[in-house]
Amino acid sequence: MSLATLLLGSAYQGYSYAYPHKTAYRPLATPRTLADVWADEPRGALFLYVHVPFCAVRCGFCNLFATTTRDASEVEGYLAAIEHQAKTVSHDLSGARYARLAIGGGTPSYLTAAQIDRLFGVLAQQLGVDPCALPTSFELAPVNTDAARLAALRAHGVDRVSIGVQTFDDDESRALGRPRRRGEVAAAIALLREHGFATLNLDLIYGGAGQSLESWLASLESALRFEPEELYLYPLYVRRLTGLSHRDHRPDDGRLALYRAGRDLLLERGYRQLSMRMFRASHAPATVGPEYCCQRDGMVGLGPGARSYTTELHYSGEYAVGRTGVRAILDRYLRTEDHSLVDYGFALDPEERRRRFVIQGLLQAEGLDLAAYRTRFGNDAERDLSELHELVAHGLATAGADRITLTAAGLERSDVVGPWLASQRVRQLMEGYAWR
Ligand SMILES: C[S@@+](CC[C@H](N)C(=O)[O-])C[C@H]1O[C@@H](n2cnc3c(N)ncnc32)[C@H](O)[C@@H]1O
Ligand code: SF4
């Protein structure tokens, strides 16, 4: 479909969180060993991502690889499996050094304080990771944010915490399929603040049932009272197999008006916009730690929901949203004896690598670095991707000598621009993905 036609439709076609999307991954024709996949890769500054798939409740809007469990021993089993996988990574990626650590989910704060200790112990012993020496991020949900867990996180040197607020209005939260106790969110954030983490991020969602412009701005004002260093504003997507899709709740396209009002408020309060979803306060600390560049450096994921990136191959466990699919993948992971085989992912040929670079750069407010592109690929981005001219012609981007940058109109259409920039091959794979 042409860009002109797409622009007439919804501003919310799809979130290009990472390119290519996991729904474009498939079983590899020939499984490869981990050692082979990483053989020629630089491994001096890697991102280590650990995925914890457990949650206290499965929220109605959520399509992440996550599940609830009634069996507490399953969490211990999961940590044992992470340790087993980390051992394999340590062996097969000898000499790897990590520059960033993120523990996400699901809900990592589902782990008890003792389990958090155990997880950090595994990362230190198996992979030599010292979170005190690296920027380290940890995700929490209000329902399991407590003093014992936060003390453990502080003791291990976590400097960024991110908590899913979604909305400060309890009725709106219920409508999103996330019932909660009165006062739970404010108490959790206050506790996070008391523990003195350098960076606090709050996630908010706009476009849910029953939300008005006034109530959205009221939620933002409530968030701002905590002076978070970062805010993520997510437009609600009602995705297949999620609780909201069963209830047939459709967000109306009041979302764009809510986005604009939210963005304007945050800019007025001194926040800088880093992307369509991400805002950072002027008082946020600069990142200190080893140099890391997401366009260049690889990622190692632990857990079946985590992706790993090398230059030529992105891989992970399989993806599912529905309860049965998630359970099957998780059970398989818990039973895996040999983590040294890579059998599911997406191979990036040179064209896909160029597209990935462009999409990742362009969807950030600071834009696509043309010199960095030239250095990496030996050609001009505008020559390789004629789509860039079209974006400029439609007023969605401006081309300077150094950068191509989305305009305000382009940034608010990030979820149109991103999917439109995907290759034909990626689009076809995504369309052909069998949802489970
Ligand atoms: C891993 S969760 C955050 C941590 C924690 N599990 C929690 O929910 O509090 C990541 C974030 O993605 C956002 N999100 C997930 N599914 C979404 C959807 N369908 N539409 C909009 N935002 C979504 C939510 O804001 C959520 O907080
Ligand atoms: S939004 Fe967070 S708590 Fe809710 S199901 Fe998703 S990952 Fe779990």
Residues shown for the chain = 436
Residue 106 near ligand 2, beta carbon < 6 Å: yes
What was the pLDDT predicted at 295?
Answer: 75
What was the pLDDT predicted at 297?
Answer: 82
Residue (of 225, 220, 276) closest to 417 by Cα position: 276
Task: Report yes or no: 19 and 359 within 8 Å, Cβ to Cβ.
Answer: yes
What was the pLDDT predicted at 248?
Answer: 66
What tens digit of pLDDT does each residue of 343-393 get? 999 999 999 999 999 999 999 999 999 999 999 999 999 999 999 999 999
Tracing tokens 């979170």 back to the chain, one arrives at 131
Task: Report yes or no: 67 and 58 within 8 Å, Cβ to Cβ.
Answer: yes
Closest residue CA from atom 4 of ligand 2: 59
Residue 103 near ligand 2, beta carbon < 6 Å: no
10: left (phi over 0), alpha (psi -120 to 50) or beta: beta
Domain edges within the chain: 24-280, 350-430
Calpha distance 114→119 (Å, rounded)? 9
Closest residue CA from atom 6 of ligand 2: 62
Structure tokens at 364: 């950030």
Q: Which atom of ligand 2 is nearest to the CA of 62?
A: 6
What was the pLDDT predicted at 171?
Answer: 95
Residue 85 near ligand 1, beta carbon < 6 Å: no
In CATH, what class is 24-280?
A: alpha beta
Please give the distance, rounded to the nearest whole angstrom, from the Cα atom of residue 58 to the centre of ligand 2. Answer: 6
Residue 205 near ligand 2, beta carbon < 6 Å: no
Please give the distance, rounded to the nearest whole angstrom, from the Cα atom of residue 164 to the centre of ligand 1. Answer: 6
Residue ranges of the chain whose pLDDT lies below 50: none
Please give the distance, rounded to the nearest whole angstrom, from the Cα atom of residue 62 to the centre of ligand 1. Answer: 6
Give 67's strand partners.
54
Q: Which residues contact 263 (CB under 8 A, 6 or more apart)?
A: 233, 273, 279, 412
| Burial classification of residue 186, based on how many CB atoms lie within 10 Å of its CB (0-12 exposed, 13-18 middle, 19 or more buried) | middle
Q: Beta strand 341-347 with 26-33: parallel, antiparallel or unpaired?
A: antiparallel
Mutate to test the pocket of ligand 2, among 63, 67, 68, 107 (most ligand atoms within 8 A of CB): 107
Residue 59 near ligand 2, beta carbon < 6 Å: yes
Calpha distance 271→268 (Å, rounded)? 7
Helix (H) or strand (E) holding 421: helix 414-421
Residue 281 near ligand 2, beta carbon < 6 Å: no
What was the pLDDT predicted at 253?
Answer: 81
Residue 176 near ligand 2, beta carbon < 6 Å: no
Q: What is the dihedral of CA 373, 377, 383, 385, to 10 degrees?
A: -80
Compute CA distances 317 → 26, 341, 343, 431, whole Å.
10, 11, 8, 19
What is the spatial order of strands in the sheet that 403-406 belongs to?
Answer: 368-369, 403-406, 397-399
Query: Which ligand neighbours the alpha carbon of 139 most closely?
Result: 1
The shares of helix, strand and coil residues in the chain, as percent rounded to the nearest 5, are 40, 20, 40
CATH of domain 350-430: 1.10.10.920
Please give the distance, rounded to the nearest whole angstrom, from the Cα atom of residue 65 to the centre of ligand 2. Answer: 9
Q: Which atom of ligand 1 is nearest to the CA of 166?
A: 25
What was the pLDDT predicted at 193?
Answer: 98
Residue (of 132, 136, 114) closest to 50 by Cα position: 136
Residue 141 near ligand 1, beta carbon < 6 Å: yes
What tens digit of pLDDT does each residue of 263-294 get? 999 999 999 999 999 999 999 999 888 888 88
What was the pLDDT predicted at 16?
Answer: 85
Residue 167 near ligand 1, beta carbon < 6 Å: no
Calpha distance 344→341 (Å, rounded)? 9
Residue 203 near ligand 1, beta carbon < 6 Å: yes
Mutate to test the pocket of ligand 1, among 49, 139, 160 (most ligand atoms within 8 A of CB): 139
Task: Report yes or no: 131 and 157 within 8 Å, Cβ to Cβ.
Answer: yes
Residue (of 430, 56, 414, 421) closest to 235 by Cα position: 414
Mutate to test the pocket of ligand 1, among 234, 241, 259 (most ligand atoms within 8 A of CB): 234
